[in-house]
Amino acid sequence: MNTSAAGLSHPGEEARHATVAVTDLFREHHLELVRLALVMVGDQETAEDVVQDAFERLYLGWSRLREPSNALAYARSSVINRCRSVMRRSAVARRHAPKLAGIPDTGAAGTGSASEDYADLADALLLLPRRQREVLVLRYYADLDVAEVAATLRIAPSAVRSTCTRGLAALARVLGEDRG
C-alpha cells in the first residue's frame, strides 16, 4: 500500500508530493480519461475541459484524499461527475434554445434508422437516461466489474446489474432490435 502521504507533515513537502503524484497520474491516464469523457459527452473539446477540471480538483483536493493510492478511481469518478454536470447544462441549453432557429432535436435523431455503422450505438447511448449511460460506459468501455462500477457511482451492485440490463434492453429497443 502507498503510505508515503501519511508521513508527510510539512506543507511544502505535501504540495510537492501532490504535484508529483498528479503529474504522474496525468502522464499515465490523461488520454484514457479524455476518452472516457468523450464517450460520455460525445464531444472532444468538452471532454478535454472535463478532464482538465477533474485534474485541477484532484490537485487542489490532494491533501484531503484519504487514499492517494487510489487516485485514479477518484479521478474517474470526478470525470463522470463533471460529465454529468455538462450533460445537465447542455440539456437545459437545448430546452431553452429557440425552436425556430432550426436546431435539430438530438433526442430523436438516429432512433429511426439503425444501421451497422459503428457510430450508432455510441450515439444511441446518449439517448439513454444518465444512470444507464454511466453504467454501460463504465462496464463496457472502462471494463470495470460490477463492484467497481458500484463503487464509482456509489450505488449498490444490484442496482448496477439491473441498470445494466435495462440499459442494454433500452439500447436494443432504440436500435429496433431484440436482445434475444
Partner 1 sequence: MTDIEERLRHDLKKRSERARPGSIRPLRVPSASRRSRARYRLASARRSRAARVLAPAAAMVAVIAIIAGVWLAGQPGGKRPAVGSSAGMPKYYVTLNTVLRGKSGSPALPGTMAGVGPGRVTAMVRDSLTGALLDSVLIAHVPRGEYSTAIATWITAAANDRVFAIGVASHAFILRLQSDGQVASLSPLPAAMSKAISLGPALLSPAGTELAFTNSTQRQLIVVTLATGAIRSWKARPGFVDALQWQGTGNEVLVLSGAQPGPPDQYRLLNVSGTGGHVFADSRLVYKWPFFRSGYNLSNPLITPSGNLLFLAHSVYTKRGGVETTSCRVVEFSPGARRLLRVLYRAHAPSSTVGYFPPCGVVSVGPSGLNLLIEDFGHGTGYGRLDGGRITALPGWAYEDRYPQAAW
Q: Among residue numbers 82 through 121, which ones bind partner 1 (CB under 8 A)?
A: 84-85, 88, 118-121
Residue of 19, 33, 42 whose CA lies nearest to 77: 33
Is there binding between residue 130 and partner 1 (CB under 8 A)? yes
Residue with cell 429557440: 98
Region of residue 110 (phi > 0: left; psi between -120 and 50: alpha; otherwise: beta) = left
Q: How far is the CB of 106 from partner 1 (least distance, A)?
A: 15
Residue with cell 434508422: 113
Nearer to partner 1, 10 or 100 (CB): 10
Neighbours of 122 (CB within 10 A): 14
Is there binding between residue 29 and partner 1 (CB under 8 A)? no
Size of the site for partner 1 (CB under 8 A): 72
Residue of 157, 159, 177 whose CA lies nearest to 168: 177
Where in 31-70 is the site for partner 1 (CB under 8 A)?
31, 34-36, 38-39, 42, 44-45, 47-48, 52, 56, 60-61, 64, 66-67, 70
Where in 134-163 is the site for partner 1 (CB under 8 A)?
136-137, 140-141, 147-148, 150-158, 161-162
Q: Are 8 and 51 in contact (CB under 8 A)?
A: no
Q: How far is the CB of 102 from partner 1 (least distance, A)?
A: 26
